Structure 1
Amino acid sequence: MEERTVGDYRLIQAIHTGGASVTWLAEQTSIRREVIAIELTDFSQRDTFLDNTRAKASVDHPLIGSVYEAISEDGHCLVALEKLPGRTLAERLTANETLLPVEFSHLLRMLSEAMLHLAAKGIATEPLTPESIHFDSHGVLRIGNIARAGEPDPASAANDIAVLGQVLPPLIPNGRPGASRALTVLAWMRGEGIEQALTWEQIHSYSEQIESQLVEVSHPASLPQTGRVRKRKSPLPAILGATLGIALIGGGAAYLMRDRTVTVATPPPSLPGPVSISAGEHPTPDGGAGSLRAFRISACEVTIGQYADFLEMLELLDPDSRSIYDSKDQPADKSGHQPDDWDAMLTAARDGSTWEGRPMNLFCPVVNVDWWDATAYCDWKTGRLPTQEEWFAALREKVEKPEFLQPSGWGPVTSIGMDDKTLNGLFGMAGSVSEWTRRPASNPANPLGKKLHVIVGASFLNTDNGALSRDWTDDRSQRRPDLGFRIVWPPE
């Protein structure tokens, strides 16, 4: 098809022709920006085309391609989309290119975060294919905008996961550290050796753990044949065992995939999932009862490793876009969300050394965060901070006397002793670190005074009152080495 101009767009080269549209490599001439333009050719489909375009334009996520503009006038119907950097996974597969297992685990983790965002927003999607997934030489993943109009299909996530599990194994080279673990996750994605299909949330958890444990790091991301490889000490204890292939299902089952033998093991341990709290009347912190909507609350406080992912994601963004998760009332003079002494904290957690005299790893709770930091992270995770009423309702479920919980000390969030774990599966409510809550409340000692923000739970530095501990503050910018947070989400 010949080059031509539609409005502000010069259609340079047709790269795909579908039943009702043509996809072009194009240029927005006014600003000389390369774009992808989809031009409608069957005008009986105009309403559907525009509905799908509006659905794509509603997506606002740094890992998902943006919609720039739509034109529907003068006999033309066209949408201009962001031209994503990097090669698609389909191109890599066609060229028989591979990724280091640590790169592939990073890719899966970021991909699952984007898909979880779309699911949390209730956005229907087109099938996710290797053609939609871009991965550049710096390890940055971007996804073509696959939003569509209509209601989400409950089966679409499982279908997408199964398809990727089938087609992506050739991206992983044999013989590299972590290859068998990455291939095992892909086997589970296909449904091999497990009873229930994997979810994006599980894929995120498994890939996060594999990525953290691999001792091989590529910088920058590149092909194994040309990549520059540096070594680092593994930051975590051997959570996955020697490999994922030690504990075999049913005495051991091997799956042959394109000359790769993969031992399918039981899934690796992961941080526990959120705890669901039902709607209804719940005890309040001040001795009464109140009605709450159903919600889910994270079983553990947010960890150093999880928070590091958040900061790394922000670094990938253009500097002008890094305020995307900032609260609307965040102080104008606050820039960024790095905790105090973050570099030293993270280095100690990765190396398994000490920080401020305490043993560290990536599963220890993140501290030295202020209310604005905690709120931004929760927004990134499509959640929010709990109110003190929600926090207390979760604490009191199946716990008649929360004062009997024994405050736990410093350590990984899942290594809390059973004396500081509730029957519904919440860790560290009486100790570990104190936690930010969402909104201000009255102090019962001064009910007519100003409402202040509430910090709940005792900590390893101050065990007074255990799970019933509360502090009121008018300084949301305060950061302490024993103050962290956990997250609340709507019910599933």
Structure 2
Amino acid sequence: MGSPAGGDGLPDEQPQRLVYVGSFYIDLYEVTNEAYGRFIASTGHPMPENSNPRATLWNDRHPFPGSERHPVVNVSWLDATAFCRWEGKRLPTEAEWEKAARGPDGRTYPWGDEWNPAWANSASYWAGRRIDFINSTEWEAFWIHGEGARIAKAKGLNGEVLTLPVGSFPEGVSAHGLHDMAGNVAEWVQDWYDPNYYRSAPLADPVGPERGAIKSMRGGSWLKPAVSLRTSDRDWGTMDSRPSGTGFRCAKDAF
């Protein structure tokens, strides 16, 4: 684990280490609105909602028409774990997620080591050109104050959210055949987040710190730059937050 390409990633990706991860199952796709709808119909669980009404993509406990195959967003870590438990599964650990994304050869992106804006749903994809948004000022100029905001208003669900149906980028699959491991939505994983965890984590089947205040996310989302879509990049959120760019996929023990 840790940053690919010689250990030149962000501080919370250090130190780079070789970690053993045992066998497990993990879903090929992010959980969709359609699947989540079956869950709330069966259990009475609340529908996904955001504090910003424009970012809420459900009405009367049903997803907006045409968004059934989009990944569910506005779900908290607690919502995600409840869904996985309902399916007899669980969230993947950070280590499992990274293994599934990077493949046997430690790729920088699920498909390889070179960024391709046409192979993942990201800010670069919506810009329609190779733009890596090297710094936050450049990204904010595009996404918050400029072209990105106009694109979201014109093409986004409810004029806000630019998810796409799962599996929309077959060229961007990982070596293990998983879709959307970069972009579309960031994904909740099982672990507590600790920026210094790699310094003392075990080298076999790490499961994250024993306790914490925030949970880890992986994979980046439709509104993030290329640096946030690297297979080693780490993000986080509070257990009860429901971001419009975050969803999840499920995993399961192999034995």
**What's 1:482 paired with?**
245
- Asked if the contact 1:431–1:463 (Cα under 8 Å) also holds between the matched residues in 2, the reply is no
**What's 1:436 paired with?**
188
**What's 2:217 paired with?**
455
**What's 2:174 paired with?**
422
2:236 aligns with one of 463, 469, 472: 472
**What's 1:391 paired with?**
97
For residues 47-62 of structure 1, what are the structure 2 equivalents within 5 Å? none
Q: Which amino acid aligns with 2:184?
A: S
Task: Call closer, same or farther: CA 1:445–1:388 in 2, change over 3 Å.
Answer: closer
Q: Does 1:371 align with 2:77?
A: yes
**What's 1:343 paired with?**
58
- Partners in 2 of 1:296 and 1:484 — Cα distance? 18
Cα deviation, 1:194-250, whole Å, max 9, x if unaligned, reads xxxxxxxxxxxxxxxxxxxxxxxxxxxxxxxxxxxxxxxxxxxxxxxxxxxxxxxxx
- TM, length-normalised to structure 2: 0.62
Task: Call closer, same or farther: CA 1:348–1:297 in 2, change over 3 Å.
Answer: closer
Cα deviation, 1:5-30, whole Å, max 9, x if unaligned, reads xxxxxxxxxxxxxxxxxxxxxxxxxx
Cα deviation, 1:86-135, whole Å, max 9, x if unaligned, reads xxxxxxxxxxxxxxxxxxxxxxxxxxxxxxxxxxxxxxxxxxxxxxxxxx
- Partners in 2 of 1:453 and 1:477 — Cα distance? 10
Percent identity over the alignment?
Answer: 28
Q: Does 1:305 align with 2:34?
A: yes
- Asked if the contact 2:28–2:179 (Cα under 8 Å) also holds between the matched residues in 1, the reply is yes
- Partners in 2 of 1:454 and 1:441 — Cα distance? 5
> Cα RMSD between the aligned structures?
2.8
- Partners in 1 of 2:246 and 2:221 — Cα distance? 8
Q: Select the structure with the greater relative contact order (CA < 8 A; seq sep ≥ 6).
A: 2
Q: Does 1:408 align with 2:142?
A: no
- Partners in 2 of 1:413 and 1:399 — Cα distance? 25
For residues 308-347 of structure 1, what are the structure 2 equivalents within 5 Å? 308-315=37-44, 336-340=45-49, 341=56, 343-344=58-59, 347=62
Post-superposition offset of 1:314: 1.0
Post-superposition offset of 1:417: 4.1
Post-superposition offset of 1:461: 0.9
- Partners in 2 of 1:431 and 1:345 — Cα distance? 28
Task: Call closer, same or farther: CA 1:423–1:445 in 2, change over 3 Å.
Answer: closer
Counterpart of 1:402 in 2: which secondary structure? coil
User: What is the count of residue pairs matched by the alignment?
Assistant: 179
5+ residue gaps, structure 2, are: 4-12, 50-55, 122-162, 201-208
Task: Call closer, same or farther: CA 1:463–1:445 in 2, change over 3 Å.
Answer: farther
For residues 83-482 of structure 1, what are the structure 2 equivalents within 5 Å? 283=1, 286=13, 287-315=16-44, 336-340=45-49, 341=56, 343-344=58-59, 347=62, 349=64, 351-352=65-66, 361-403=67-109, 404=114, 406=116, 408-409=120-121, 410-418=163-171, 420-444=172-196, 451=212, 452-465=214-227, 466-468=229-231, 469-473=233-237, 475-482=238-245
Counterpart of 1:289 in 2: which secondary structure? coil
Post-superposition offset of 1:290: 2.0
Cα deviation, 1:163-186, whole Å, max 9, x if unaligned, reads xxxxxxxxxxxxxxxxxxxxxxxx
Task: Call closer, same or farther: CA 1:346–1:337 in 2, change over 3 Å.
Answer: closer
Q: Which amino acid aligns with 1:487?
A: C
Kindly name which structure, 1 or 2, has the bigger radius of gyration based on alpha carbons.
1
- Partners in 1 of 2:47 and 2:62 — Cα distance? 14
Post-superposition offset of 1:467: 3.0
Q: Which amino acid aligns with 2:17?
A: G
Post-superposition offset of 1:347: 4.8
1 or 2, which has the higher strand percentage?
1
Q: Which amino acid aligns with 1:440?
A: W
- Asked if the contact 1:395–1:402 (Cα under 8 Å) also holds between the matched residues in 2, the reply is no
